Amino acid sequence: MKAAVIVFPGSNCDRDCKVAIERSTGAAVEMVWHAETELPKGLDLIVLPGGFSYGDYLRCGAMAALSPIMGEVKVAAGRGVATIGICNGFQVLCEAQMLPGALLRNEALKYVCKTVELEITNAQTRFTAGYAGRRQVAMTVGNGEGNFFTDPATLARLEGEGQVVFRYVDNPNGSTAAIAGIVNDAGNVLGLMPHPDRAFEAELGSADGAILFQSALASA
């Protein structure tokens, strides 16, 4: 199994993701700089990590979405390669129009950093199949602009098509319908604000994030 973690200027969870994937799955992980124009061959998973790409200037993820490597990420995702955007990576996926909606400033206008309980609202995706019937998991959030927003028509479609994958039990940032993570129409692109890369071993407080990475690669 082979994975790639995309590194943007200002990414600060790229190595966290690399270590989490390696320890959780045994997959080989390559770090790919944002200015590259090609991805490694034979990828089973692409991860856009958390952080503050381009210093969060303009809008979170807006500048990173225009990076040269994102053209190749879109092509790979279009072929069905599993792609995960975590926190800032979720923002990048939305700005790149690979996922619908937008991430706004938290409702309380404060940075939120804590462990959160998540409801698995769709256990049949390639990212959640490994949870084997579990309804709740624990991961960590750390964001100032994690307030997921979309219009009513798009929300109805996301809910109706089973594209809402994770929902906050106690909504920490005011997200529409307490949404914490969604997938695209094809089901191979996941965006989520909580960090599975900060919850992949029991010593970190939760190992639930490891199952997400394992599920994504098992589906390949």
Give pLDDT tens digits for 148-164. 999 999 999 999 999 99
Kindly state the DSSP code that residue 123 receives in the 8-state scheme: T
Residue 195 and residue 205 in contact, taking contact as beta carbons nearer than 8 Å: no
pLDDT (tens digit per residue) in 2-15 = 999 999 999 999 99
- Rounded Cα–Cα distance for residues 213 and 218 (Å): 9
DSSP 80: T
pLDDT at position 52: 96
pLDDT attached to residue 220: 81
Calculate mean pLDDT across residues 65-88. Answer: 98
Based on the residue annotation, tell me whether 13 is a catalytic residue of this protein.
no
Q: Could you give all domains of the chain from N- to C-terminal order, each with its CATH number?
A: 2-218 (3.40.50.880)
Catalytic residue among 13, 17, 60, 87: 87
Say what angle helices 208-218 and 14-25 make with each other, to 10 degrees: 70
For residue 160, the tally of other CB atoms under 10 A from its CB is 9
Q: Is 87 a catalytic residue?
A: yes
Task: Spot the catalytic one: 34, 60, 94, 195.
Answer: 195
Q: What is the pLDDT of residues 173-203, one digit of tens each?
A: 999 999 999 999 999 999 999 999 999 999 9
